[in-house]
Structure 1
Amino acid sequence: MARADRVLAVWCPDWPAVAAAAVVGVSADRPIAVLRGSSVVACSAIARADGVRRGMRRRDAQGCCPELVVVPEDSDRDARLFESVVAAVDATVPGVEVLRPGLIVLGARGAARYFGSEEAAVVRLIDAVAVAGAEAQVGIADALSTAVFAARRGAIVVPGEGARYLAALPIAELAVEPSLSAPERSDLVDLLRRLGLRRIGDFARLSPAEVASRFGADAVLAHRTARALPERPPSARRPAPELTVDLDCDPPIDRVDAAAFAGRHLATRLHAVLAAAGVACTRLAVTARTETGEELTRIWRCARPLTPADTADRVRWQLDGWLTRRARPTGPIVALTLEPVEVVAAGALQLGLWGGEGEETERARRALVRVQGLLGGEAVRIGVLSGGRGPAERITMIALGDELTPAADPAQPWPGRLPEPAPTLLLLHRPVVQLTTADGHPVEVTDRGLFLTAPTRLRWGRKEWSLLGWAGPWPVTERWWSTAEPATMAVRVQVQLDADPTEIRAVLLVHDAAVWHAEGVYE
């Protein structure tokens, strides 16, 4: 029986070249290359046999293969033609997710159960894609990225053997698949090769701390891939229903240009909602309802959070595919829905600290990653709201580039938590102070966390202030249930000082082990 977490990937080799050949009417026995500008980004197997390679200049490629047919890159064309393949796979095994035109993934468990084994499922899926007029290779593994690498070789990786399978592959494989890596991944691969790391296993043997401190954020993600670990940590949360956005199409949509306009409008609305909620989308469901009541849904999965432009592209591609395929919808589209199927904390899977993709933001990212490279991965850290009772407990510091996962869930109830507002500045060294009554006696607290006498003055070092007011006390008792450790009690109080406007005006105090400490300052 297949493991519950195994992933099945279906890869159509050289899909941009296949789609281009279908549109321009080039037969399968003629070499064809797809160009971005003047560089080759994809080519057919026949062209490769004549020496054409990705990254070649057009003139060099035609020098290797004089009869080469060259076609400009067109992502809309690739997505439109790939929809028939996606529909064929979805009809065989429901629940497909599109990584990009030419590559889809789905859960292996259901397919293996239905067809009897993983091997039988692979055969049926290859046949289904062949009926749709394309060739495919299928791979199965425990992690999504490993399954994609296996699909490029038509392999089924033994459960638990993902890292061993990847270890023998060339290090360049980490930058081959665009849906799993950032554009700068090729620079990382070049650096690793110059350092003598020729195989993925060589890179995987480095410790996570070594990778984070020497190479930066994208290398951390690549290292997880090399170790056959899941692409996304389990902190990815289930989206709230209010993040879904809808659009009533009036007039109904039956043309591609109208679909593109609607997609841009809906993508803008979706990202405004996501930004307000402080999350980013990594899996997006696009749903269309036709005039006759037919409902079409497709899920797109992304390695990194979608930008508004990314979302608009995927909506346009999907609607284009539905409206132009042979089995067209039964009527024009009257309603569109975008539903974030998976979201993460905004910035969790990218380097951004402040949002946006401007030049200043990118320059700041590069500078901070450089600091990490010089001083170590922990040199640049980001504060994340966490769960806890004291203000220091409610902040988890995460190294830049890591998943922004708090140490404790802030949404859970925390009895005894300090009420708002939180201090502007936390004093981690917690200096000792004296909280006294009018006659100079120390303010004590009872076993229940109540004041024995009202506080009137605060002495901090050589300075002393009268109190204009105070709020609290707020006692919190922890480990009272434990027999292995003694219970602890802390009492917090906010005090307002009769101080000069240029001085500290309000302080958070904590009474711990019979001593008062300054824990925070309000500005």
Structure 2
Amino acid sequence: MEAGVRTLLVWCPDWPVVAAEIADGVPADAPVVVMAANRVLACSEGARREGIRRGIRRREAQSLCPRVIVVEHDPGRDARAFEPVVAAIEDVVAGIEVIRPGACAVAARGPARYFGGEEAAAERIVEQVAQTCAVECQVGIADGVFAAGIAARTGIVVGAGDARGFLSSVPISALEKPDLTDLLKRLGVETLGQFAALPASDVLTRFGFEGALAHRLASGSDHRPLAVRQPPLDLAVEETYDDALDRVDVAAFAGRALAEQLHERLAAHGLACTRLGIEAVTGDGQELYRVWRHDGMLTAAAIAERVRWQLDGWLTGARRGAMSGPTAGLVRLRLVPDGVMVHVGLQPGLWGETGAERERAHRAFSRVQGLLGPDSVVTMVLGGGRSADDQVRLVPWGDEREPARPAAEHREPIPGVVTEPLLGKLASVTHLRPIHVLSKSENSEMFEKGRGVASKGEGESGAREAGEREAGAREAGEREAGTREAGKKGAGNGRGRVKRGREGAPSWPGRFPRPSPAIVLPEPLPAVVRDAAGRIVGVSARLELTGEPATLAIERGQAVAITGWAGPWPADERWWAPEEARRRARFQMTTEDGRALMVSLAQGRWLVEAIYD
């Protein structure tokens, strides 16, 4: 089995007790126990001398030592107290991974080569922590994090390749998996060596993934590489000047060079900042500091401009005798970026950054509206609706962009079930069509390809079509009558109200699921959907299809095979107003020629309403 990487692990004994001493002033030389879930999580050396051990209950610990100090466990306190220890170790070695508060690990190869050996590196780290933080720690070195952690308990260095032999005599409880270790003990497995001797396949079959992972650790291997902690980048730039800067033009020139240096350093790391700290030190030791904030990314010119403004304010204030100004010329400048973020995460507006560009665009659009009328420049507002053709409203530029029909968040059609539209799984649609508004004459040209002979048997099924339409109309009438009756009953007891979503917006039940189509046709195109037997597909009042959709013919064009479909999604709108009522079933369909369409069936007629990219 593959051995783990040589790892140096730093372990601070009884860290919860030490953290309580650092944060709360608890005397660590007295009997102290840290409790978690009414059991002892950690105890001091004085408590151990009284017979207290980890895992016993509070009452038992207090019976062994009535004067014991009980402290409740606080993981946040442990982490905060351990941070200075990690920072002290980072001053000596790099690439630290914090295992838990009180233990951290680092790859041993680098420190060993730098300090002249693994033992020398361990001694240097122990000395650094003791001098910097006044905390006792022990270091263990072995192949893998788990073996190094066991070695750190006694402060030894395990030779390369000897991790499995070193772990063979360690009790099985060292795995710190109570359920697994209790079961192994009942089966007669007392040590890690006995556990590692079992076949790995049998362990996986009997104990599952957790047992297989524990078996790998007991065999001296690691389940993952070290996830080292990256120290924060030092992005600040500074410059010291032999001649004090007491003139604004000289200071501004020096500040511009420093600003360009800061911008290049941020760009090299793919970062940008939104706040800038400017520090200055005068010839007599006075320190000045200001923070500038910007709405957007600070470019090199913007940084230089703010540095010039601040230096001008400081030096001009000094000449005028202001109390807050510098008392001498500036001998050191330092720029500290604040509010640092990844550059791609700060998305500028359509017209560039906020400010003059947006104002110029607004003036240009207003000029066009003055020449051609208010409706010549419009913006889209997405509102409520159940289909793609009634959710978008065009608003003249400058008017309030409020939807005419508000809507709640677009949720999945079935609560608790995430819809995965068929269109998102297609690999055949590799082309992209430009998104533009089609004129009435262009509707038919959209499907010019393949137009020609109508499907055979279309005339023979005309009578059947009429019969099916008549039956569908009767079913629709019965359903509408039942729905109206239910609505009247619900109005009396308050159950007939419109369902509301977040912040009182209507949820629009029956809304078409995502994704939204790219092109909505101004006038839907007539179509015919048939099953494998050539019969026109219909939808009953119970939303049951009369057949499996097999082919799609658009505007008497040649029938194209349907490769996938989803639906139906019903919409029964304004049933209380017969002249405005619209009842239809909608589908998403893909055809073998690569098209993805939104198709609907209303009053026995199939229509193509929208096109997907």
Tell me the TM-score normalised to structure 2 length: 0.38
Bigger RCO (CA 8 Å, 6+ sep): 1
What is the TM-score when the length of structure 1 is the normalising length? 0.45
Bigger radius of gyration among the two: 2
